[in-house]
Structure 1
Amino acid sequence: MHFKTSFGFIILLLTVLSCQHKPIEAQEVAIIPQPNSINISKSVFVLNRATSINSEDTFKISSDFLKSYLESGGIEVNSGNDITFIVDKNLGKEAYSLNISEDKIEIKASTDQGAFYAVQTLRQLLPVEFESGSFEGSQVNIPALVIEDAPQFTYRGMHLDVSRHMFSVDFIKKYIDAIAMLKMNTFHWHLTDDQGWRIEIKKYPKLQEIAAYRDGTLVGHYSDQPHQFDGKKYGGYYTQEEVKEVVAYAKERFVTVIPEIEMPGHAQAAIAAYPELGCTGEQVKVAQKWGVFEDIYCPNQKTFAFLEDVLDEVLELFPSEFIHIGGDEAPKTRWKNCAHCQALIKSEGLKDEHELQSYFITKMEKYLNSKGRQIIGWDEILEGGLAPNATVMSWRGTSGAVEAAKSGHNVVMTPTSHCYFDYYQSDGEDEPLAIGGFLPLEKVYGFNPIPEELTKEEQKYVLGAQGNIWTEYIPIEDHLEYMAFPRMLAMSEVVWSNPENKNYKDFVSRLEHFHKRLDILDINYANHLYEIEGDLVSEDGKAFFEFKTLTEGKTIRYTLDGTEPNLESEIYTERIPITKSTKLNAAVFNSEKQLGKTFTQEMVFHKAVGAKITINKEPHKSYSGSGVEGLINGISGSDSRYGDKEWLGFWGDDIEITIDLGEEKEINTIETRFYNGNGQWIYAPREIVIEYLLQDGMSFTDKHNLKKSNDKIIEFDCKLIKIEDLEIKVEKIILKIPNFGTIPEGKQGAGNKAWTFIDEIIVN
C-alpha cells in the first residue's frame, strides 16, 4: 500500500480558476469509500474546455457518465486522448486503476463496471459544483496520482422498505444515485408487507385495488398506549412500467435491484385482497399499525398458484439472480389451528410447523430455481431446515450467518446491531421519531461483516453486507435521508475498503468535507460530527470525567454548574475530577462560535462508584455498552435507546452481578432499571434476587417481583426497581437476575429467547 497521508485521507491541492483566472481557495477532497492504494505526485493535470475523452464501446456507460458529468460542469468534451479508457484483463470485474499524470488521465478496468467505479472516484476529485452544474470556472487543476482499487465484498447493498411508507419514483432514483456514487451495487426493494402491497400484478387486480391501501395509519409510536390512528386512507403502488423504469435506471449505474415479495408471513395486505390465501378464509383488513400479525399464507394449492403467478410477473420485471422471499416473523398460530396444515405436516412427514415453513420455502425455491433464479431470505428460513440453494440474510445477530456458512450457504450480513438505519443515531432528545435502539455512525463504521466464528474456508460464503431502512416511523423523504446519511457512507466503506485501510478518525475528516457534496446534491443528512462523547472513569477509587470529539482543530469548553457553555467557559485540557453529583455541560467551539449541540451529563455520585464489579456472563458483543464497570459509573442510560453505552444487553442469559464495596458501608437504597421493549424482543425479568454479604461473613437474601403477571407488561418502557429503608452495613451486594425466558406466542420474536437490558445500579 502507498499512502502519502494518514490512512489515505487525501489533502489534494485542487486549485480552481474562475473565468477571470483568479484563484479560488484550495479545497480538500475526500474519497469515500477509501481506495485500497493511493500514491500522490506533485504535478497536476489541467482539466479544461480542451479536454478530450477516448473510449471504446466496452466502456460506454462509464465514459458516457463521465462525459455528461463534465459537461454539466461546463467542460465541453471532445474526442481525443486526454482521458483514456483502457481494457486491462488482469483486473477483477469491479476493480480499476486510475492514473492521473501531468498530460493525461488513464482509467484501466476489465469491465465497464470497474471503469464506472473509477469515474466515481474521479468525480470526487472535482469541485462539488459539478454536481449541480453550477461550476463557473474555465479549468481545474487535478493532482497527479495513482489509485489501485477493488472491493472487499461482492455484495454491497442498501435496503428500502416502501410498504410502510411509499416514496416517489424520482426519489427511488435519487436513492440509487447515492448507492452508485458510493460504489455499492445492490438495491434491496422491500415491496410487500402487512401494511401495503406496492407492486402492480396484472393477474390479480385486487392487489392494486385493496392490498395497496390501508384505511389509516398509527399515530406516534407503537409504544404509545392506547393506539391512535389518523383515519386517512394511505397507499399506492408502482406500476410495472415504473418498475421497469427504475430497474433500467439502476442498470445504467451498475446497481442490481432485488425485489422482496414476503412469504409466508407479513402477508396480511395480500390476504385482505384475497382471503382464500389465509388459513381461516375470513376477511381481514390491510394492517394500520406496525408489528407481526397472525394472518399468514396458508400452504395450500391456491396460495402456491397465487405466488407462482405473482413471481412470474416479478421475474419479467427484475433480471436479478436473487429474488428475496422474506421468510421472517411468521407466527404459526393459524397453522397450528388449521386442519389442512396439520394434515400436510402429517402427510409430508414433517416434525412441526417450523418444518412446514421450510417445506413452504423449499417449494418456492424449487419454482424459482426452475426459472433460473435463486432465493434469498431473512435468517428465519433456517428454521426447520434450510432450503437447498438458499442464501441467508442474517439480521438477528450473526448466529444465523454462522450456521448458514458452516452449512455451505452464502450469507449477506445485516444484523440489527450494526445495519438497521431506522434506529436512533444520537442521544439528542430532538432526534426524529425512530423505532428505538441506538446505532451511531462509529458503530456502523466499526462493523466487520465476517463473523469471528468462521474458519478461513467458511468466510468465503460471506458475500457482503447491507444497510436496512424500515419506514414505520419515516413518512417523508427528508426524514429518510436523515436516517440514511451519513450511515450509508460508513457502510460503503465497510463493504468496499480493506480493513487495514480503515480508520474512523480519518473517515470523519473525509466525511466533514463530503458534507459539501451532500449539500449540493440536496441530500439531507444527520450531522453529529461536532458532538462530544464523555466517560466517567475510575482510578484508585477516584472518579474522573473525560471528553473527546471527533473533529480536529476545535476546542471543548465546559461548565460544572449546569449552565450553558460559551466562549468564556473553561477550556477542557485534562480529565476532570468528580467528587460529588454533578450536572456537566460542554460543547465544541471554534474561535468564533459554538459548532455542535451542547453535551449534558448528569452524574449521580453514589456509594458503588469506583467499586469492584464482576459478572458471571459477558454482555452480548453487540450491546456491551461501557462494559460491566458501566453499571456503577454514576451515569444512567437513555430512557428510549437501549443500544447506548450505558445499557448492557444479554440474550437469554441468567445474570449474576457482584459489587464489592471494598469495605463495609452503610447503605439505605438500591435501585436499577430494566429496559422493556417487547417489540425489540427485550423483556424485563419477572423478579430479581439480591444477596447482601456482611464483613463478618454473614449474609441475607431478598427476592423482589417486578410485576404481578405477564399481562401487565407495558411495551417499550423502563421497569424500575428500588429497594428502600435497608439501613444495613454491607461489604458485597450480589444481584441475581433470571432471564424472562422464551417470548410468548403472538408477540414479535415468539419462540426466541428474550433479551435482558440493565442500566446503572445505584447504591446509596
Structure 2
Amino acid sequence: MKSYLFLGILCFCLFNCKQENSKKTPIPPNIIPIPLEQELKEGTFNLTKDTNVSGETRFHSVIRYLRSYLDDQLQLHSNTTTAQNEIKFVTDTNITDNEGYSLDINENSIIIGSKTSKGAFYAVQTLLQLIPVVNNGEEIPIQCIKIKDKPRFQYRGMHLDVARHYFSVAFIKKYIDLIASLKYNTFHWHLTEDQGWRIEIKKYPKLQEIAAYRDETLIGHYNDQPQKFDGKKYGGYYTQKEIKDIVAYASERFVTIIPEIEMPGHSQAAIAAYPELGCTDTPVKVATTWGVFDEVYCPTETTFKFLEDVVDEVVDLFPGKYIHIGGDEAPKTKWKTSEFCQQFIKEKNLKDEHGLQSYFITRMEKYINSKGKQIIGWDEILEGGLAPNATVMSWRGVEGAVKAAKKKHNVILTPTSHCYFDYYQSENENEPLAIGGYLPLEKVYHFNPIPEDLTKEEEKYVLGAQGNVWTEYMKTPEKVEYMVFPRAVALSEVLWSSENQKKYVNFTSRLRYFQQRFNHIGVNYANHIYEINGNLIDRNGKLTYRLSTANNEEILYTIDGSVPIYKQSSLYKNPIDIKKTTHLKALVFDKNGNKISPLFSTKINLHKAVGKKITLNTEPNPSYNAGGSKALINGVSGSNKRYGDKEWLGFFGKDVNVSIDLDTLTPINSIKIRFHNGNGQWIYAPKKIKFDFVGTEQVKKHDFISIQNRDSLLCNVHVKFNNIKASKVYIDIPNYGIIPEGKQGAGYKAWTFIDEIIIN
C-alpha cells in the first residue's frame, strides 16, 4: 500500500513547522484554490490512528487513496470498532457538478459529499490542506468548517515539453502529483519535436534508435553569438510499458493525459529517422538548436500511412478523449518548392500552401475521429480553414480563441501573455536563463480566460485554460519546478475559483503557507512574493518613485546606489521625490534582520524628455505594453538580458512614429535609442531611423540614418546633433519587414522592441 503513496499528497499534508509545539491547535484554513463557499465553525476534529474511514462502494478508489496516506502516517486501523470519530464518503444528491463536492468537518465526523469519485478526490485535496505537520501516534486537530465547492472551468490543464529535454518517469509522476493536488484535471504531454521523439512506436523502431537522440545540445541562449554546443549525445524515450504505467498513475489522480504528436511541422526528428517522410531527398539530423525548422512532413501517402500507424499505437496507450496534433509553426518553404506539393495543391483544388495545411489537418482529424478520438491543435490550424471537429488551443493571444468560438468550436486559452511558464517571472537580473518574455505571478493570477470579444452564447465554447512549459532552457527537474511553481498555483485558482472569490493579496497570504508544504517535499519553487516593485509617477511634471510589495512589507531603501542596511537605511513610507538622476536600491528584511527579498535596483536618468508628453501612432502589442508609452521616456532603461519587462515596448509588424513634446525650445545635443535584436524570437532592430524637429518657426528635417550595428543582441543608436533647438521631436522607426527564409519566423513580419529614448 505504501507504494501507492505519492509526493503530491505529502506536499499538502505536511504543514507549518511552527505548529509542532501546539499540536492541539488547528491550523487556519489557507486553501488553494480558494473554495466557492466556506464557513468556519467552532471546535476541532481530532484525527487519530483509530479514526474510521468509510463510504459507498463508488468511492472506494478515493477512500483507498486517503487511507494509504493515513495508514503510513498514523498506522490507521481501518474499520476499527473502537473509533471515536469517522471520515465518511457519501453521495450528495444536491451536487450536480461532476467535480463539485461538499466537506463538512464536525467534532466527531468529517462528511465528504459528491456526485462522483472525482468530486470526492478534490474534497480530499482540500481536506489534506487542513492537516498540519503529522507526528505518528498523536492526535491531529483539524478545524471544523463547512465547504461547498465546484470548479469554474471544466478544462484545467498543465503542459510539459519532454522533447527538448527528457525527464524521468519518477519526475513525470511527481509533476502529476503536484498538479492533481492543485485540482488540475489534464496533463498535456508534448512528446515529439524537431529535437527529439520521446514515445516508443513499435512499428517504426528508427524513431527509438535515431529520432530519440540528438548529437549535441546548444549551450546558453539561442541568441548568443557565436552559438556554442556541448558535444554530447542526448536523448531518451518512454517505452509503451512506462507510458501505460504513467497513464494509470494519472488516472488514479483523476488526471487525463493528452499526448501531443506534432504534425505537419516540428517533425525534423522523425524525418531524420525516415527521410522519405520529408519533401526532399537531402538527409537531415535531429535538430540540435531550438526554434522553427523548414523540415515538415510531405503530404504523400507514405507520410499519411506513417502517421496513421503512429496514431494506431498512440490511441491504444491513452484512453482520453483527445489527441493533440500540434499544427503550429509549420513553414511552407519546402511545400512551395516541392513539385509534388504544388501538383498536389492543383489536383486537390486547394487555394495555396495554407489550404494544404488545412487539408493535412482535416485528413488526419478524420482518421483520428475514426478511432473514437478528437483532435486539439494550436491556433495555426485555423489557417486555410478549420477542421470540422477540432478544438483550438489559442497561444498567439486570444484572437484564435475568439475566431474559433465564433465558428462554434471549443477553445482552450494558452496565450503567451499569461500562460507561458518558460518566460521570466522576475525583472531581477539574477534570474536563471529563460527563453525571454516576462510573466510575473500577479499577471498569471489576474488572467481571465474569457475573451472580451465573445458574447454570452459564445463563451460556452471556452473550455478553460492551460499553463505551458516549453523546456528549451530547462535541463533539470529542479529548473522545471522553479519555472512552474508558484505560477501554476496561481493559475489553478484562476481556473477553479469564482472570479468573485479571487483577491491577489489574500492569495499571496495563503501562498506563504503553501510554500512551506513545498519545502517539506523539496519542490524547488521560485519565491518572488517578497519582491519589491517600482514605478515612476509623473504628476504634472513632479516625479516621484513608488515602491511596493504584494503584502505591504516594510521596505528599506537608499538613493545613492549603496545597498540598504537593516535598521540603518531609510524606511519607505511615501513615494520618493526624484529631482535629479538617482540610483535607487531597496530590500525587505525579516524581524531578525535577514534579507528576504531580492535586491531591488534601478537608475532614474533625468534626461530632457523625462516627464514630457509622448504620442505614438500605434499602440504596442498588449503582451508587451506593461509600461505604456511613457516607458519610452521615463528615465528608466529596460533589462540588458531580456525584452519582456515593463520598460521594453513591443510592436508586431508595425512602423512606429514617435512624437515627443518638450514644451519649450530646448537645446538637443544627442538622442540615444536602444532596440532589441533577438532574431530567435522574431525580433529585429530596424534597418534605418529618421529624426525631425520643430523649432520656433520651422520643421528641421533629416534623412533616414542607416543602423549599422545590427549583429548584436542589443542594438544601440546614438546620434549627435549640432545647433539643434526644438520644442518637438519626431522619430520614424520603420519595421524591419518580412523575416527572411531560413530564419525563425520566416515569412512573418518582425517584432520591433524599443527601450528608453534618451534626449540630452
Provide the rounded CA distance (Å) in 1 between the counterparts of 2:303 and 2:91: 50
What is the DSSP-based 3-state SS (H/G/I as helix, E as strand, rest coil) of the residue aligned with 2:609?
Answer: coil
TM-score, normalised to structure 1, is: 0.94
Match of 1:38 in 2: 38
Provide the rounded CA distance (Å) in 2 between the counterparts of 1:98 and 1:661: 63
> How much has 1:512 moved relative to structure 2?
1.1
User: Residues 22 and 182 (structure 1 numbering): CA distance in 2 closer, same or farther, change over 3 Å?
Assistant: closer
1:51-450 superposed matches below 5 A: 51-74=51-74, 76-79=76-79, 82-91=86-95, 92-127=97-132, 129-130=133-134, 135-136=135-136, 138-450=138-450
Q: Deviations over 1:676-733 (max 9, x none)?
A: 2222222222223322112x3411122444536xxx8537x22222221343221111
> How much has 1:443 moved relative to structure 2?
1.2
Match of 1:565 in 2: 564
Q: Deviations over 1:20-39 (max 9, x none)?
A: x9647764542111111111
Provide the rounded CA distance (Å) in 1 between the counterparts of 2:725 and 2:154: 61
Q: Deviations over 1:521-552 (max 9, x none)?
A: 21111111221111111122121111001134
What is the DSSP-based 3-state SS (H/G/I as helix, E as strand, rest coil) of the residue aligned with 2:702?
Answer: strand
> How much has 1:401 moved relative to structure 2?
1.1
Does residue 755 of structure 2 align to residue 762 of structure 1?
A: no
What CA RMSD, in Å, does the superposition of the two structures yield over aligned residues?
1.9
> How much has 1:174 moved relative to structure 2?
0.1
Match of 1:3 in 2: none
Provide the rounded CA distance (Å) in 2 between the counterparts of 1:750 and 1:459: 34
What is the DSSP-based 3-state SS (H/G/I as helix, E as strand, rest coil) of the residue aligned with 1:668?
Answer: strand
Provide the rounded CA distance (Å) in 1 between the counterparts of 2:17 and 2:200: 51
TM-score, normalised to structure 2, is: 0.94
What is the DSSP-based 3-state SS (H/G/I as helix, E as strand, rest coil) of the residue aligned with 2:397?
Answer: coil
Match of 2:603 in 1: 602
Provide the rounded CA distance (Å) in 2 between the counterparts of 1:90 and 1:26: 29
Does residue 712 of structure 2 align to residue 707 of structure 1?
A: no
1:604-683 superposed matches below 5 A: 604-683=605-684
Q: Residues 23 and 140 of structure 2 are in contact (CA less than 8 Å); yes or no, is this contact kept in structure 1?
A: no
Q: Residues 616 and 657 of structure 2 are in contact (CA less than 8 Å); yes or no, is this contact kept in structure 1?
A: yes
> How much has 1:515 moved relative to structure 2?
0.6
Provide the rounded CA distance (Å) in 1 between the counterparts of 2:320 and 2:273: 28
What is the DSSP-based 3-state SS (H/G/I as helix, E as strand, rest coil) of the residue aligned with 1:518?
Answer: helix
Provide the rounded CA distance (Å) in 2 between the counterparts of 1:535 and 1:522: 35
Match of 1:5 in 2: none
> How much has 1:745 moved relative to structure 2?
3.0
Q: Residues 672 and 717 of structure 2 are in contact (CA less than 8 Å); yes or no, is this contact kept in structure 1?
A: yes
Question: Amino acid of the residue matched to residue 717 of structure 2?
Answer: I
Provide the rounded CA distance (Å) in 1 between the counterparts of 2:541 and 2:238: 63
> How much has 1:442 moved relative to structure 2?
1.1
User: Residues 726 and 507 (structure 1 numbering): CA distance in 2 closer, same or farther, change over 3 Å?
Assistant: farther
Match of 1:577 in 2: 577
Q: Deviations over 1:9-55 (max 9, x none)?
A: xxxx999987xx96477645421111111111222222222311221
> How much has 1:281 moved relative to structure 2?
2.6
Q: Residues 118 and 254 of structure 2 are in contact (CA less than 8 Å); yes or no, is this contact kept in structure 1?
A: yes
Provide the rounded CA distance (Å) in 2 between the counterparts of 1:425 and 1:160: 18
User: Residues 393 and 714 (structure 1 numbering): CA distance in 2 closer, same or farther, change over 3 Å?
Assistant: farther
User: Residues 17 and 484 (structure 1 numbering): CA distance in 2 closer, same or farther, change over 3 Å?
Assistant: closer
Q: Deviations over 1:633-657 (max 9, x none)?
A: 1101112221211111222333222
Match of 1:751 in 2: 747
Provide the rounded CA distance (Å) in 2 between the counterparts of 1:707 and 1:611: 26
Match of 1:6 in 2: none
Provide the rounded CA distance (Å) in 2 between the counterparts of 1:22 and 1:636: 50
Question: Amino acid of the residue matched to residue 32 of structure 1?
Answer: I
Provide the rounded CA distance (Å) in 2 between the counterparts of 1:365 and 1:15: 52
Q: Residues 661 and 727 of structure 2 are in contact (CA less than 8 Å); yes or no, is this contact kept in structure 1?
A: yes
Provide the rounded CA distance (Å) in 2 between the counterparts of 1:26 and 1:720: 59
Provide the rounded CA distance (Å) in 1 between the counterparts of 2:373 and 2:211: 26
Question: Amino acid of the residue matched to residue 389 of structure 1?
Answer: N
Provide the rounded CA distance (Å) in 1 between the counterparts of 2:693 and 2:22: 77
User: Residues 604 and 26 (structure 1 numbering): CA distance in 2 closer, same or farther, change over 3 Å?
Assistant: farther
Return 51-60 or 380-389, whichever deviates more.
51-60
Q: Residues 27 and 143 of structure 2 are in contact (CA less than 8 Å); yes or no, is this contact kept in structure 1?
A: no
What is the DSSP-based 3-state SS (H/G/I as helix, E as strand, rest coil) of the residue aligned with 1:753?
Answer: coil
Match of 2:9 in 1: none
Provide the rounded CA distance (Å) in 2 between the counterparts of 1:197 and 1:704: 49
Structure 1: runs of 5+ lacking an equivalent = 1-12
Provide the rounded CA distance (Å) in 2 between the counterparts of 1:759 and 1:24: 57
Match of 2:731 in 1: 735
Q: Residues 165 and 475 of structure 2 are in contact (CA less than 8 Å); yes or no, is this contact kept in structure 1?
A: yes
> How much has 1:283 moved relative to structure 2?
1.7
Structure 2: runs of 5+ lacking an equivalent = 1-14
Provide the rounded CA distance (Å) in 1 between the counterparts of 2:194 and 2:703: 43
Match of 2:4 in 1: none
